[in-house]
A = this chain, B = another copy of it.
Amino acid sequence: MLQEEIRRRNLGTLLRHVHLDGSVSRAALAERMGLNRSTIMALTLELTAAGLVHEEAPTDTGRTGRPSLVVRPETTGVYVLAFDVAVDWLTAARVGLGGVILDRRRAARPRAGADLDRVVEVLAGFGRELHDAAPPEAVCAGVGASYCGMIRPGDGMVRFGPDLGWVDQAFGAELGHRLGLARPVPVGNEAHLGAVAEQRRGAGRGFQNMIYLHGDVGVGGGIIVGGKLLDGDGGYACELGHMVVNPHDGRPCGCGSHGCLEAEVGERALLDAAGRPADLSGRDALRDVVADAGRGDPTARAALHRIGDWLGVGVANLINLFNPGVVIFGGMLRDVYPGAAADQVRTRIAANVLPVARERVRLRTSALGDDATLVGAAELGFSALLADPLGGVVPALPPRR
């Protein structure tokens, strides 16, 4: 029984390496897992028989001699459905083992009036389409969803989703029901999932302590502590967007408070500071401000300077609190940060962070861009399979019609 447990754990670990790296040689697996090559071969054979991986000759090793076979995930044969409810769009994707986005559907989301029923209907329709378009022999191994709000772990209940005006909406359960699944779809907060995705596959690879800021209309956060997502007592931690940075004359925030980080650096703050009309919104409008600043427009430059300064106050506070190895700017901050904002952020860090805590921190933009949340949702979908590779490949969706 103990032997059996160890074997299952090793199968999961091997599959996780292959899933995250895309292509790993038997020799590298043996070294990383501390097992001999014959054990790696036996484990690989089991995963191959289960249709999860295959082996092939490496394309080019750059060395002479007989190269070690590489193990690769069955990307097109095993997939999950990943959903993303963001402020601007609804997305669904078929994501293959190895984290490859194989196919996707996207719809613009109206900024108001998107009730649970309508959102679930669109997503479930996309999910069914993606499932039907998959190769006949491919297996759906799981489902996961990202949502721009505070999510109760376990059942995917949206406790607070200000952008869609949702409070206590059973999103995970409804989506599961509409997809014909026996249980709720696992749901995560978009910035939490973005952080997990960046740590596993993006700009945070190799870091155990990491802060991910996800700019959208607001600013969400995902914080990795000791390799794990900071969840807190109820799963509602990481709300760095509601850290008050400007208590004196702060802008009003959607949460009811004033001077929150997201009120000072979110989409509205930047567009207002740049003197854009109040009815303008969205990513393109933000990019216009960044482009204008790049061309030397003084109003746009001043706007980015202001936003960068508040962002710097917030980031400096976070570095003092978390002593992270890396801070990653994602979502719309990926556009805003590299411009004038970066200088302000660095200036604030130099002024406000204790030298010892900042001596090794790196500042980066998201490597996965707008796909970070979707890739994170897919990781949620793959988690059961990776925990128990041979028990896990039961089709998550009913057979195709």
Contacts of A260 in B (CB 8 A): 352
Are A321 and B159 CB-contacts (below 8 A) given A232-B357, A255-B354, A313-B244? no
| Residue A13 is within 8 A (CB to CB) of chain B in the complex | no
- B228, B243, B351, B353: which contacts A321 (Cβ < 8 A)? B243
Are A317 and B244 CB-contacts (below 8 A) given A226-B228, A323-B233? yes
**Are B246 and A247 touching (Cβ within 8 A)?**
yes
What is the count of identical protomers in the complex?
2
**Which range contains the number of A residues in contact with the other chain?**
35 or more
The residue in chain B whose Cβ has the minimal distance to the Cβ of A309 is B247
B-facing residues in A251-274 (Cβ within 8 Å) = 255-257, 260
Are A257 and B321 CB-contacts (below 8 A) given A236-B357, A313-B247, A357-B239? no
The residue in chain B whose Cβ has the minimal distance to the Cβ of A160 is B356
B-facing residues in A206-262 (Cβ within 8 Å) = 207-209, 221, 223, 225-226, 228, 230-240, 242-249, 255-257, 260
- A218 to B: closest C-beta gap in Å: 12
Query: Which residues on A are within 8 Å of B, measured CB to CB?
Result: 150, 159-160, 207-209, 221, 223, 225-226, 228, 230-240, 242-249, 255-257, 260, 313, 316-318, 320-325, 351-357, 359-361
The 3 closest A-B CB pairs, nearest first, are A232-B323, A237-B323, A239-B320
13 A/B residue pairs, CB under 8 Å, sorted by A: A209-B237, A225-B232, A232-B322, A233-B323, A233-B324, A233-B360, A234-B359, A239-B323, A243-B320, A244-B316, A247-B313, A317-B317, A318-B321
